[in-house]
């Protein structure tokens, strides 16, 4: 298999976990390159459901080594809990997981600041997962972050922690009137995590590049989605990393020349969790009915996801930014019962029609979608295993999505389970 990057094409939760699990059958390494435990990737195998937050979904198949790259921010307590949960579900993690020495560590002050900042923003909040992701990336860029390798050296770790806490405690006290955190308590807690995680901490760029040179392949598992990218998404309503294809290189130390293929994952409709512009969003009774039918509740926070029609404007942008070779469309089955289905083909903005993503969140908020309406197929699709057997109207809907976005279809998912998948070209 070539080296493939899997990205969320839009607002996250597109079904990346399921698609990564399918492709891991032929993968040697599966690497997460950004985000943290804000992600929730669901994989259903038989009657079991797995929700991965930090560990790549590829861990579920024995043939693959799971890698957490330098671009990921790690809450050690969350990672240890995930390892334990997986082992309870009979998934072997020891000896199959590698964590980058250079990945940055999330501390309780990051999580606290995430929460306090959100609460202070009131109606202007971002709607973060409150996992401390943004503040941890902020420290990384400010060059005050603490990396996994630092945790492994007690004197370096203590010095950095002490320095950070002096500043964080001042902010906590003076801006938010919150009690200071104890250096000793945090130091002891994190030294214990370090001891338990040390077996996994390795030189990821070296391991991955040597593997690639030997002809092994890497599947890069994106978290979040293109519209949540800190540079290319609906800023400031974004996450704090780069979920787009370029992030795979920066977040693992594998060069662009090693990437053979990029696949974007999208639902057959759209969802967004958290605040920020969402032009095709449903409202009212239909929104509530659809959410329940589609089971659109967050895999990490359990929050109700906002749902809407497929947006070809955003998808064209995603194809461009990620240079998608192909897409995987998931949750087609959710649309099975609908009489008619809409697709947003362009936006109306101040009387003019725009077909390209306007970039600015303020402008998008004022855009009105222009819809094309297609008739639904109103028949189940979850049992179908070949594209040809799909109802004619389902094929017409998919073809229209592809024509409007100029991209090829590689995988079609018609249910959450592994077998509920149609692969168009192997």
Residues with active-site annotation: 13, 41
**Which of 57, 101, 239, 330 is close enough to bind ligand IMO by CB under 6 A?**
239
Measured CA angle at 20 (ends 2, 386), to 5 deg: 90
- CA 50, CA 138: separation in Å to the nearest integer? 30
Does 381 bind ligand GDP (CB under 6 A)? Our answer is no
Judged by CB under 6 A, the chain residues 30 through 89 that form the site for ligand GDP are: 40-42, 44
Distance in Å, CB of 41 to Mg ion, minimum: 6
Strand 270-272 and strand 306-308: pairing? antiparallel
Does 240 bind ligand GDP (CB under 6 A)? Our answer is no
From the list ligand IMO, ligand GDP, Mg ion, none, partner contacted by residue 239 (C-beta under 5 to 8 A by kind): ligand IMO
Judged by CB under 6 A, the chain residues 308 through 337 that form the site for ligand GDP are: 330-331, 333-334
Reduced 3-state DSSP string for 25-60: HHCCEEEECCECCCCCEEEEECCEEEEECCCCHHHH
Does 169 bind ligand GDP (CB under 6 A)? Our answer is no
From the list ligand GDP, Mg ion, ligand IMO, none, partner contacted by residue 127 (C-beta under 5 to 8 A by kind): ligand IMO
Does 329 bind ligand IMO (CB under 6 A)? Our answer is no
Distance in Å, CB of 361 to ligand GDP, minimum: 22
- The answer to whether the CB of 1 falls within 8 A of the CB of 27 is yes
Does 273 bind ligand IMO (CB under 6 A)? Our answer is yes
Nearest to 238 by CA among 128, 137, 329, 318: 128
Does 228 bind ligand IMO (CB under 6 A)? Our answer is yes
Judged by CB under 5 A, the chain residues 243 through 302 that form the site for Mg ion are: 299
Residues binding Mg ion: number (CB under 5 A): 3
Part of the chain binding ligand IMO (CB under 6 A), chosen from 165-173, 201-209, 218-226, 314-322? 218-226
**Which of 8, 15, 246, 277 is close enough to bind ligand IMO by CB under 6 A?**
8
**Helix, coil or strand: residue 116:** helix
- CA 318, CA 244: separation in Å to the nearest integer? 9
**Binding track, positions 341-380, relative to ligand GDP; x by CB under 6 A:** ----------------------------------------
3-state DSSP percent of the chain in helix, strand and coil, to 5: 40, 20, 40
Look up residue 290 and give its two tokens.
């659809």
Part of the chain binding ligand IMO (CB under 6 A), chosen from 8-16, 25-33, 160-168, 312-320? 8-16
**Binding track, positions 118-157, relative to ligand IMO; x by CB under 6 A:** --------xxxx-x-xx-----------------------
Side-chain-facing half-sphere of 382: CA atoms under 13 Å: 11
Distance in Å, CB of 300 to Mg ion, minimum: 7
Burial class, 302, CB count within 10 angstroms (exposed 0-12 / middle 13-18 / buried 19+):
exposed
**Binding track, positions 274-313, relative to ligand GDP; x by CB under 6 A:** -------------------------x--------------
**How many CB atoms are closer than 10 A to CB 186?**
18
| Closer CB to ligand GDP, 8 or 134, in the complex | 8
Judged by CB under 6 A, the chain residues 41 through 70 that form the site for ligand IMO are: 41
- CA 420, CA 46: separation in Å to the nearest integer? 11
How far, in whole angstroms, is CA 195 from its chain's centroid? 28
Distance in Å, CB of 247 to Mg ion, minimum: 17
- CA 364, CA 319: separation in Å to the nearest integer? 18
Instruction: Transcribe 264-317 into DSSP letters.
Output: EEEESSEEE-SSS--TTB--HHHHHHHHHHHT-B-TTT-PBPEEE-EEHHHHHH
Q: Residue with structure tokens 């979040």?
A: 224
| Closer CB to ligand IMO, 61 or 267, in the complex | 267
End-to-end CA distance of the chain, in Å? 10
Measured CA angle at 402 (ends 401, 404), to 5 deg: 65
Residues near ligand IMO (CB under 6 A): 8, 12-13, 38-41, 126-129, 131, 133-134, 223-225, 228, 239-240, 273-274, 299
Residues near ligand GDP (CB under 6 A): 8, 12-18, 40-42, 44, 299, 330-331, 333-334, 413-416
Residues near Mg ion (CB under 5 A): 13, 40, 299
């Amino acid at each position: 298999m070539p080296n493939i990057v899997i990205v969320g094409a839009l607002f996250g939760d597109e079904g990346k976990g399921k698609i990564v699990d399918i492709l891991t059958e032929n993968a040697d390494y599966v690497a997460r390159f950004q985000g943290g435990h804000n992600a929730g990737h669901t994989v259903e195998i038989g009657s079991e459901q797995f929700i991965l937050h930090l560990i790549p979904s590829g861990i579920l198949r024995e043939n693959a080594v799971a890698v957490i790259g330098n671009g990921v921010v790690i809450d050690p307590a969350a990672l240890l809990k995930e390892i334990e949960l997986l082992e309870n579900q009979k998934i072997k993690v020891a000896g199959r997981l590698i964590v980058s020495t250079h990945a940055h560590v999330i501390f309780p002050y990051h999580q606290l600041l995430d929460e306090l900042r959100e609460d202070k923003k009131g109606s202007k909040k971002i709607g973060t997962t409150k996992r401390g992701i943004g503040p941890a990336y902020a420290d990384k860029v400010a060059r005050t972050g603490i990396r996994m390798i630092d945790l492994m050296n007690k004197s370096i770790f203590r010095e950095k922690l002490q320095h950070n806490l002096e500043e964080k405690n001042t902010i906590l006290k003076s801006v938010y009137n919150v009690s200071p955190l104890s250096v000793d308590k945090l130091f002891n807690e994190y030294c214990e995590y370090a001891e338990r995680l040390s077996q996994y901490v390795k030189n990821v760029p070296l391991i991955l590049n040597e593997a690639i040179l030997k002809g092994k392949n890497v599947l890069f598992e994106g978290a979040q989605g293109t519209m949540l990218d800190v540079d290319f998404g609906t800023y400031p309503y974004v996450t704090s990393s780069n979920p787009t294809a370029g992030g795979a290189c920066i977040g693992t130390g594998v060069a662009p020349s090693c990437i053979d293929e990029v696949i974007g994952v999208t639902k057959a409709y759209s969802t967004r969790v958290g605040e920020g512009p969402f032009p095709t969003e449903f409202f009212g009774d239909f929104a509530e009915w659809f959410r329940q039918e589609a089971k659109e509740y967050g895999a990490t926070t359990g929050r109700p996801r906002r749902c809407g029609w497929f947006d070809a404007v955003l998808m064209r942008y995603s194809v461009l930014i990620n240079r998608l070779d192909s897409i995987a469309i998931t949750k087609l089955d959710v649309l099975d019962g609908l009489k008619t289905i809409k697709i947003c083909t362009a936006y109306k903005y101040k009387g003019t029609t725009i077909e390209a993503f306007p970039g600015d969140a303020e402008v998008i908020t004022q855009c009105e979608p222009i819809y094309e309406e297609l008739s639904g197929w109103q028949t189940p699709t979850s049992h179908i295993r070949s594209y040809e057997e799909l109802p004619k109207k389902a094929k017409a809907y998919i073809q229209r999505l592809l024509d409007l976005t100029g991209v090829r279809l590689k995988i079609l998912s018609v249910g959450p389970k592994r077998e509920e998948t149609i692969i168009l070209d192997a």
